[in-house]
């Protein structure tokens, strides 16, 4: 196994107090999907879509067709992913956050795999819907060639995958793979893995064993 040295430094206290970088602090809170637990005046800011997001109705066949054409999926696959993600929320185990998330993952074979968030009394042990779906795909032998990921929540506008999930998705998906985010009304927006995690670090960035910089 390759040991790869990485150095990093964080100014955690200042960030959490929001004194040095309020926007980044809000971003970090948003990424934990705890934003709905905050007062409305704050959660609305946390969940506000950025300027690059445009919402479409999943009942708008024209918008769905354009999305499918742009990301090499069929309308049937789109709607199967959507219904799987929406229904997946009913399988969520989230007694602590009450924040249900469902996932529908389209594999290379055309199968759609369900995911849901699974929490734990020891909070950090919980797992997000995206990671349960990808884990299911991997152990089922379908971890390679994932074509698209759909995520559904009970809020609007749609929630995007948390930071940890973005990195997890990056491990198994090419940069062009679309992540389709549905809100409580089945309106959706799409971003690719590259757009969600630009300049990402992935398995292709690791040097081979014995290369300079490794032990
Ligand atoms: Zn996550």
Residue 57 backbone dihedrals phi, psi, to 5 degrees: -85, 135
**Where are the extended beta strands (E) located within 39-92?**
56-57
> Of all helices (H) and strands (E), which one includes residue 131?
helix 129-139
Interatomic CA distance for residues 47 and 153, integer angstroms: 12
pLDDT for the residue numbered 25: 42
Return the residue matching tokens 């690719």: 192
Interatomic CA distance for residues 113 and 119, integer angstroms: 19
pLDDT for the residue numbered 21: 36
- Are 86 and 79 contacting, i.e. CB atoms less than 8 angstroms apart? no
Q: What is the pLDDT of residues 129-157, one digit of tens each?
A: 999 999 999 999 999 999 999 999 999 99
Q: What is the pLDDT of residues 66-98, one digit of tens each?
A: 999 999 999 999 999 999 999 999 999 999 999
**CA distances, 122 to each of 125, 127, 133 (Å):** 6, 11, 21
User: What's the gap in Å between 209 CA and the centre of ligand 1?
Assistant: 30
Fold adopted by 56-197: Cytidine Deaminase; domain 2 (3.40.140)
Share of the chain above pLDDT 90, in %: 70
Active site residue 65: no
- Are 114 and 103 contacting, i.e. CB atoms less than 8 angstroms apart? yes
> Of all helices (H) and strands (E), which one includes residue 24?
helix 22-31
Q: Which of 65, 77, 87, 130 is labelled catalytic?
A: 130
| Token couple for 202 | 């992935």
Ranges 14-18, 89-93, 122-126: which has the least confidence: 14-18
Q: What is the mean pLDDT of residues 110-119?
A: 98
User: What's the gap in Å between 180 CA and the centre of ligand 1?
Assistant: 14
């Amino acid at each position: 196994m390759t040991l790869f040295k990485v150095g990093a430094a964080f100014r955690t206290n200042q960030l959490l107090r929001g004194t040095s970088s309020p926007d980044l602090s809000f971003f970090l809170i948003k990424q934990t999907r705890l934003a709905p637990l905050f007062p409305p005046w704050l959660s609305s800011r946390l969940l506000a879509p950025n300027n690059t997001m445009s919402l479409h109705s999943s009942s708008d066949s024209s918008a769905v067709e354009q999305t499918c054409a742009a990301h090499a999926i069929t309308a049937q696959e789109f709607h199967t992913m959507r219904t799987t993600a929406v229904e997946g929320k009913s399988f969520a185990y989230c007694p602590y956050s009450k924040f249900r998330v469902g996932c529908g993952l389209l594999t290379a074979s055309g199968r759609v795999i369900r995911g849901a968030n699974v929490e734990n009394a020891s909070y950090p042990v919980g797992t997000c819907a995206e990671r349960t779906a990808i884990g299911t795909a991997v152990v089922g032998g379908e971890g390679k060639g994932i074509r698209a990921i759909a995520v559904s929540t009970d809020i609007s506008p749609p929630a995007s995958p948390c930071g940890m999930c973005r990195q997890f998705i990056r491990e198994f998906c090419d940069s062009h793979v679309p992540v389709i985010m549905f809100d409580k009304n089945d309106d959706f927006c799409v971003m690719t893995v590259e757009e969600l995690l630009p300049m990402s670090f992935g398995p292709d960035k690791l040097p081979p064993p014995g290369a300079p910089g490794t032990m």
